[in-house]
């Protein structure tokens, strides 16, 4: 499933608990400079997975916070002793120039940038880091969801050892 410096993995998510389990597994592998891109239709589970990743990372440090969708604020930040995490929702972004005002490049240097709807500004977002994890979520029959993950850069090796 590996090609060049990328690796693909697929997970079927039968429930909200399975989505949280994937988020928990991913949170254990976060490093400064990471870029996580979440794609999928409305209702596919992007925010639920983002919330699980962020809350799981914070819980590793004894921090418990609500993680609302940043649909209207565009960006919410969370800080642990280890990392600054920016949760970004580009659904309402109409101009790429709006991104420059969010300070994502600075966060990407020392933290993690987690982006919902990255296709709204793909080229600009891709420039943030070569270490990216693309997650595409698909609604399947019977209420199931499928998560297709593609790790690039150092995420390729991290994905290889990922287990739920």
In a domain, 118, yes or no: yes
CATH code for position 73 = 3.40.50.300
Decide which of 163 and 18 is more confident: 18
Domain count for the chain:
1
Q: Say whether pLDDT at 67 is over 90.
A: yes
With respect to residue 121, please indicate whether it lies within any of the assigned structural domains. yes
Q: Which domain holds residue 44?
A: 9-160
Domain assignment of residue 75, yes or no: yes
Residue 98 has pLDDT above 90, yes or no: no
* 90: pLDDT strictly greater than 60: yes
Is pLDDT at 149 greater than 90 in this prediction? yes
Residue by residue, what is the 3-state secondary structure of the chain?
A: CEECCEEEEEEEECCHHHHHHHHHHHHCCCCCCCEEEEECCCCCCHHHHHHHHHHHHHHCCCCCCCCCCCCCCCEEEEECCCCEEEEEECCCCCCCHHHHCCCHHHHHHHCEEEEECHHHHHHHHHCCCCCEEEEEEEECHHHCEEEEEEEECHHHHHHHCCCC
Higher local confidence (pLDDT), 46 or 43: 46
Q: Is residue 32 part of a domain?
A: yes
Has residue 87 got a pLDDT over 70? yes
- For residue 27, being part of any structural domain is answered with yes
Mean pLDDT of 86-103: 83
pTM of the model: 0.91
- pLDDT for 1: 46
């Amino acid at each position: 499933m590996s090609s060049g410096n990328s690796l693909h993995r697929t997970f079927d998510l039968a429930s909200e608990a399975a989505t949280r389990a994937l988020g928990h597994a991913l949170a254990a592998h976060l490093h400064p400079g990471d870029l996580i891109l979440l794609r999928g239709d409305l209702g596919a589970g992007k925010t639920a997975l983002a919330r699980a990743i962020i809350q799981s990372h914070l819980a590793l440090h004894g921090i418990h916070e609500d993680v609302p969708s940043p649909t209207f604020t565009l960006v919410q930040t969370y800080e642990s002793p280890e990392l600054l995490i920016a949760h970004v929702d580009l659904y309402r972004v109409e101009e790429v120039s709006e991104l420059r005002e969010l300070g994502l490049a600075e966060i990407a240097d020392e933290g993690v940038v987690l982006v919902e709807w990255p296709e709204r500004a793909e080229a600009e977002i891709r420039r943030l880091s070569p270490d990216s994890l693309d997650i595409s979520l698909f609604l399947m029959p019977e209420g199931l969801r499928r998560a297709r993950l593609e790790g690039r850069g150092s995420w390729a090796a991290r994905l290889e050892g990922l287990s739920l």
